[in-house]
Amino acid sequence: MDNVALMGTGNWLGILSTLFFILCFYFTLTFFQHLKSGDERLIKQTKLTAVFCLVLGLLIPAFYSLYIYNEMMR
């Protein structure tokens, strides 16, 4: 039963990771829009937010796969 719960968690983390990729794409497009308008404060904020969302979108599956690997090797 415990293995079934782990697979359900993986599905939700996959959805969360996909959501972060979508947010990263949105903030990247917003960054280009603010870059064209020349607003320095918004350029910096959207760039950092896009990078943060990309990092979370990439690290969530990586940490989960390391966790699953450690659980399976016990």
pLDDT tens digit sequence for 17-60: 999 999 999 999 999 999 999 999 999 999 999 999 999 999 99
Please say if the pLDDT value at position 3 is more than 70.
Answer: no
The count of structural domains within the chain is: 1
Contact 30, 46 (CB under 8 A): yes
Residue ranges making up the domain that contains 7: 2-72
